[in-house]
Amino acid sequence: MKRINLGLIGWGTIGVGVTKVLEQTSTSLAERLGAELYIKRIADLDITTPRDVSIPKDRLTQNAEDILSDPEIQIVIELIGGIEPARQFILDAIGAGKQVVTANKALLAEHGFEIFESARVKKVDVGFEASVGGGIPIIRAITEGLVSNRIKSIYGIINGTANYILTRMYEEKKDFEEVLAEAQKLGYAEADPSYDIRGIDTAHKLAILSTLAFGTGVRSDQIYTEGIERISLLDLSFAAELGYKIKLLALAKNDQDGLEVRVHPTMIPQDNMLASVDGVYNAIYIIGGFTGPTMFYGQGAGQLPTASAVMSNIVEIARNVLHSSTGMITPVVHKALESNDKPIKDIRRIRSDYYLRFSAMDRPGVLSAISGILGKHNISISSVIQKGRGEKGGVPIIMMTHEAQESDLQSALSEIDCMPMVLDKTLCIRIENLPS
Amino acid sequence: MKRINLGLIGWGTIGVGVTKVLEQTSTSLAERLGAELYIKRIADLDITTPRDVSIPKDRLTQNAEDILSDPEIQIVIELIGGIEPARQFILDAIGAGKQVVTANKALLAEHGFEIFESARVKKVDVGFEASVGGGIPIIRAITEGLVSNRIKSIYGIINGTANYILTRMYEEKKDFEEVLAEAQKLGYAEADPSYDIRGIDTAHKLAILSTLAFGTGVRSDQIYTEGIERISLLDLSFAAELGYKIKLLALAKNDQDGLEVRVHPTMIPQDNMLASVDGVYNAIYIIGGFTGPTMFYGQGAGQLPTASAVMSNIVEIARNVLHSSTGMITPVVHKALESNDKPIKDIRRIRSDYYLRFSAMDRPGVLSAISGILGKHNISISSVIQKGRGEKGGVPIIMMTHEAQESDLQSALSEIDCMPMVLDKTLCIRIENLPS
SS3 B249: strand
Residue numbers in B near A290 (CB within 8 A): 21, 135, 304-305, 307-308, 311
As a dihedral over the C-alpha atoms of residue B376, residue B382, residue B387, residue B393, rounded to 10 degrees, the angle is -30
Whether B185 and B267 share a structural domain: yes
pLDDT at B337 over 80: no
Whether A252 and A368 share a structural domain: no
pTM recorded for the entire structure: 0.95
CB-based contact (8 Å) between B55 and chain A? no
pLDDT, tens digit, 9 for 90 and up, residues B149-176: 999 999 999 999 999 999 999 999 999 9
State the best of A294, A333, A342 to mutate against chain B, taking most chain B CBs within 10 Å: A294
pLDDT at A362 over 90: no
Whether A54 and A23 share a structural domain: yes
In a domain, A436, yes or no: no
Q: What is the pLDDT confidence band of residue A338, given thresholds at 50, 70 and 90?
A: low
Give the end of a domain, one of B315, B338, B361: B338
Closest CA–CA distance from residue B347 to any residue of chain A (Å):
29
SS3 B218: coil
CA distance A330 to A119: 7
pLDDT, tens digit, 9 for 90 and up, residues A243-266: 999 999 999 999 888 999 999 999
* Helix segments in A34-98, DSSP class H: 65-68, 86-95
B55: left (phi over 0), alpha (psi -120 to 50) or beta: beta
Q: Which residues contact B187 (CB under 8 A, 6 or more apart)?
A: none
- String of b and e for A336-354 (b: at least 16 CB within 10 Å)? bbbeeebebbebeebebbb
Helix (H) / strand (E) containing A204 = helix A200-214
Helix (H) / strand (E) containing A266 = strand A258-269
In a domain, B359, yes or no: yes
pLDDT at B383 over 90: yes
pLDDT at A337 over 70: no
Give the largest Cα separation in chain A, rounded. Answer: 83
Q: What residue type is A356 in one-letter code?
A: L
Q: What domain range is B199 assigned to?
A: 152-299
Give backbone dihedrals phi and psi of A17, rounded to 5 degrees, phi first. Answer: -55, -45
CATH code of residue A158:
3.30.360.10
Whether B201 and B233 share a structural domain: yes
Q: Which of B40, B205, B247, B253 is catalytic?
A: B205
CATH code of residue B406:
3.30.70.260
Whether A142 and A289 share a structural domain: yes
Whether A142 and A250 share a structural domain: yes
What angle separates helix B200-214 from helix B330-338, to the nearest 10 degrees?
100
Contact A163, A157 (CB under 8 A): yes
CB-based contact (8 Å) between B136 and chain A? yes
B237: left (phi over 0), alpha (psi -120 to 50) or beta: alpha
Give the sign of the dihedral formed by CA A390, CA A392, CA A393, CA A394.
Answer: negative
| Partners of A225 in beta bridges | A263
**Average of per-residue pLDDT across A211-236:** 93
CA distance B160 to B168: 12
Q: What is the mean pLDDT of chain B?
A: 93
CA distance A55 to B59: 61
Contact A311, A28 (CB under 8 A): no
pLDDT, tens digit, 9 for 90 and up, residues A146-187: 999 999 999 999 999 999 999 999 999 999 999 999 999 988
pLDDT, tens digit, 9 for 90 and up, residues B18-68: 999 999 998 888 988 889 999 999 999 999 999 989 899 999 999 999 999
| Partners of B395 in beta bridges | B360
Whether A317 and A288 share a structural domain: no
Give the end of a domain, one of A313, A338, A363: A338
CB-based contact (8 Å) between A53 and chain B? no
Sheet holding B75-78, edge to edge: B60-61, B35-43, B2-9, B75-78, B99-102, B126-127
B105 as an active site residue: the answer is: no
pLDDT at B329 over 70: no
In a domain, B206, yes or no: yes
Which one, of B85, B116, B72, lies nearest residue B9 by Cα? Answer: B85
In a domain, A424, yes or no: yes
- Interface confidence (ipTM) of the complex: 0.95
In a domain, B33, yes or no: yes
End-to-end CA distance of chain A: give it in Å, rounded. Answer: 52
Domain count, chain A: 3
State the best of B148, B276, B323 to mutate against chain A, taking most chain A CBs within 10 Å: B148
DSSP-assigned states of every residue in B46-95: ---S--SS---GGGEES-THHHHT-TT--EEEE-S-SSTTHHHHHHHHHH
What is the reported pLDDT for A158?
98
In a domain, B144, yes or no: no
CB-based contact (8 Å) between B133 and chain A? no
Q: Which of residues 236-275 of A touch B (CB under 8 A)?
A: 271, 273
In a domain, B143, yes or no: no
Q: What angle do CA A187, A189, A192 make, to 5 degrees?
A: 120
SS3 B294: strand
* Helix segments in B254-301, DSSP class H: none
Whether A269 and A215 share a structural domain: yes
Helix%, strand%, coil% for chain B, nearest 5: 40, 25, 30
Q: Which of the 8 DSSP states describes residue B156?
A: E
Q: Which residues contact A185 (CB under 8 A, 6 or more apart)?
A: none
CA distance A10 to A306: 14
Q: Which of residues 334-373 of A touch B (CB under 8 A)?
A: 335
CB-based contact (8 Å) between B29 and chain A? yes
In a domain, A53, yes or no: yes
Contact A19, A42 (CB under 8 A): yes
A215: left (phi over 0), alpha (psi -120 to 50) or beta: left
Whether A287 and A312 share a structural domain: no
Whether A84 and A101 share a structural domain: yes
Q: What angle do CA B176, B295, A276 make, to 5 degrees?
A: 80
Q: What is the pLDDT confidence band of residue B283, given thresholds at 50, 70 and 90?
A: very high
CATH code of residue A85:
3.40.50.720
Q: Which residues contact A88 (CB under 8 A, 6 or more apart)?
A: none
Which one, of B39, B20, B90, B113, lies nearest residue B308 by Cα? Answer: B20
Which one, of A76, A51, A70, A54, lies nearest residue A127 by Cα? Answer: A76
pLDDT at B249 over 70: yes
Cis status of the peptide bond prior to A85, with omega within 30 of 0: yes
Whether B393 and B291 share a structural domain: no
What is the reported pLDDT for B338?
62
- Total residue count of chain A as it appears in this document: 436
As a dihedral over the C-alpha atoms of residue A407, residue A412, residue A415, residue A419, rounded to 10 degrees, the angle is -150
A243: left (phi over 0), alpha (psi -120 to 50) or beta: left
B365: left (phi over 0), alpha (psi -120 to 50) or beta: left
CA distance A61 to A368: 69
Q: What is the mean pLDDT of chain A?
A: 93
CB-based contact (8 Å) between B31 and chain A? yes
Q: What is the pLDDT confidence band of residue B340, given thresholds at 50, 70 and 90?
A: low
Q: Which of A40, A205, A245, A253 is catalytic?
A: A205
Give the sign of the dihedral formed by CA A385, CA A391, CA A395, CA A399.
Answer: negative
Whether A237 and A266 share a structural domain: yes
| Chain B residue closest in CA terms to A291 | B305
